[in-house]
Amino acid sequence: MPHESQPQEIKGLPDNARHPLAPGEAYVPLVTAETGVAEVTVRSVSMGLLFCAIFSMAAAYLALKVGQGIEAAIPIAILAVGLSRFFQRRNSILENVIIQSIGANSGHVVAGAVFTIPALYMLAAIPGSGVVQPHLWQVVLVSFLGGSLGILFLVPLRYHFMIENHGVFPWPEATATTEILVTGEKAGNQAKTLAIAAAIGAIYDGLVGIFRAMSETIRFRHAWIGEMLEKRYLNFNLLNSAATLGIGYIIGLHYAAIIAAGSFFAMFVLVPAVHAIGEHVPLILAPGTKLIAQMAPEEVFKSYVKIVGVGAIAGAGIMGVLASLPNMLRSIVSNLRGLKHQDTREAAAVPRMDRSFSGAFVGTGLVIAGLLTLLFFSFGLGIRQALAPALTATALVMVISFLFAPVAARAIATIGTNPISGMTMLTLLITGLVMLRLGFRGGPGMFVTMMVGGVVCTALAASGAFSTDLKIGHWIGATPARQIAWKFVGTLVAALFTGIAMWILAHQGFGSKNVPAPQASAMQAILEGVFGTTAMPLRWYFFGLGAILSLVLRILDVPALGFALGMYLPIELNTPLLLGGILAHLVNRKKAGDTDAVAKARENRGVLIASGLMAGGAIMGVVAALVKMRWRDGFPILSEAAAEGALGEWIAIAALTALCVYVVVSSRKAQAET
């Protein structure tokens, strides 16, 4: 345990924390290199593991029951700061970083499991499918292997993302979590501003999600624009969410506009085009379930255009990997070179904030993980004569995880959303086709394919989430090696409790009314399409179109991944991001006579308010999901018809306008710090 001394006074993140560094400029974190502040302690580890276990069970339960998981990082950061006040010695900010880092494993391990594993239970329930139900230990091992691979593949990229690209990406979730940890360490106006914004975000999203006081989605049907667009088979929806607005603010106008452009292209170009052609087709085209002429715009998007987005994500991911490969190789070579001197010098010779795991450790870890994966697919699935499929499955797990781990991290760094569902769909498609070529069909082929998807999905979720943890640590001044080491322990605990929760819920029947498991249901449909167990196989045309589009975007120097994410996600999720980006632009623009200090103060206050909206909205989202498990409709003020009608829509428009005014006016009231 490190020597403990009095922590330095917390003054807030340095001015250059969120901006690219000038030549020769160095970033000095909040907690400087050798302050002796407590970091890994009995309290920080025990609290982190406790939160990890609790949130793993809760997140699995919510995701499988109501289709809504928990973004654990923000709530755990708030709990870490809040509970420290009940101890004689308050947690240091570095202890809170460790608590948050360990506890946040719950979110990504659960995300990887709920997208894939329940599909095996649903397939096993189909007579004659040949699929067997997975055992508890198989679920735990799949989650742990995937989480460990995600961590190991990201360690060599730490320098690339944290140091080389300092200030390049917006890091929305890391920003919000860091602001909570920082403001929790000090008194004054910043903590008060964050608390007020969090309360407003919680109340706002609570009025929408629990009390149904207004429309949840603003469709502008009762304003002239909505009616005009619908007549032309166009759709412009906006999710009425304070949390999503806050994310858009932190992302900024540039990235938000790129994401929204992808949505606009999908909904205003591709959807009408597909409908115009489909009106003359008298057949049902898979994966649609009815004639295109009878579909609403949202149905055309979900059935066809969304697949274009998946293809674009895949294409952007592959090109992104190829583009970043030199940096990845440089990071690995740098780690290997440092290994030569690591045994001959004292560990203290390396600055604390630069202490990471060596390239030898990462290489050894990947070899061990690969061997364990091979053993799992060879002997752990109960399938005879599985050596060739096991070798192939292991190779696919390692290669796909390696290729897409940087994609997941970059997506989290850019928009705070990890497109693991799209990348997992691609994994299932590739693996399924390879299994078919090997002659591995039916139940065994589907079982192996879904297990590959489970490992990869968890690995990608882990890479994205871990990049956030490393960024928080980089800004504040945590020791990377300690974050990495305890990440593995947290992953094991999260895998164990996720498996227990899934085993319990499986007895209620996945895919049933009690446990609908919506994400896994989509993966089941893909698997059935690949292996030909349904009458409607997947259409590859739209997927290939998306891949070609990503190449065109790359040639035009348009960020392909952001654009592809916009095409993949429903438009109502992306329009509030654009609105938040516009608000950030309004707040940050300088008026005549504004000094740089005033502009910086406004920028900081705006980020603080947006972080509060994110935190409050995220917590209320969890509360709303819990409430609706007991009371399906919550405690509605308006009837469903009224909320979706003119009254609910105009209340929502007025409330969202008031929220935007609050963000802009309150942020621009900031004065230069003295």
3-state secondary structure 366-419: HHHHHHHHHHHHHHCCCCCCCHHHHHHHHHHHHHHHHHHHHHHHHHHHHHCCCC
Residue 454 shares a structural domain with residue 331? yes
549 and 574 in one domain?
no
Same domain, 498 and 601: no
Give a yes or no: residue 115 inside a domain.
yes
Q: What angle do helix axes 42-66 and 105-114 make, rounded to 10 degrees? A: 30
How large is the average pLDDT for residues 616-620?
A: 76
Candidates 393, 389, 386; CA nearest to 370 is 393
- The answer to the question of residue 177 being in a domain is no
Q: Count of domains in the chain?
A: 2
Residue 651 belongs to domain spanning: 190-293+557-668
Q: Quick one: DSSP state of residue 2?
A: P
pLDDT in tens, 231-249: 778 888 898 989 889 888 8
Neighbours of 187 (CB within 10 A): 9
Domain end call among 555, 589, 611: 555
Whether residue 444 sits in one domain with residue 328:
yes
Q: What pLDDT does 126 receive?
A: 78
In a domain, 240, yes or no: yes
Residue 641 CB neighbours (<10 A): 9
Contact (Cβ atoms closer than 8 angstroms) between residue 59 and residue 110: yes
Same domain, 98 and 152: yes
Contacting residues for 512 by C-beta, under 8 A, at least 6 apart: none
Instruction: Name residue, tokens 């994400």.
Output: 519
How does pLDDT run across 394-451, given as a tens digit for each residue? 999 999 888 888 878 887 887 776 767 777 878 888 888 888 888 877 778 888 888 8
Token pair 């009025």 in the structure block, residue: 207
Domain boundary among 522, 555, 588: 555
Q: Is 620 found in the same domain as 653? A: yes
User: Is 8 part of any domain?
Assistant: no
Whether residue 279 is contained in a domain is answered as yes
**One domain, residues 88 and 152:** yes
In a domain, 24, yes or no: no
Query: Same structural domain for residues 163 and 196?
Result: no
Asked whether residue 347 carries a pLDDT value surpassing 50, the answer given is no
Least confident of 158-167, 252-261, 391-400: 158-167
* Separation between Cα atoms, residue 288 and residue 300, nearest integer Å: 8
DSSP SS3 for 450 = helix
287 with 321, same domain: the answer is no
pLDDT at 332: 52
Task: Using alpha carbons, select from 77, 176, 15, 19 the residue that is nearest to residue 609.
Answer: 176
> What is the phi/psi pair of residue 238, to 5°?
-140, 120
CB atoms within 10 A of CB 191: 18
Is 176 within the bounds of a domain?
A: no
| pLDDT of 536 | 46
Domain boundary among 555, 571, 598: 555
Let me know whether 550 and 599 are in one domain: no
486 and 604 share one domain: no
300 domain residue, yes or no = no
Regarding whether 493 and 351 lie in a shared domain, the answer is yes
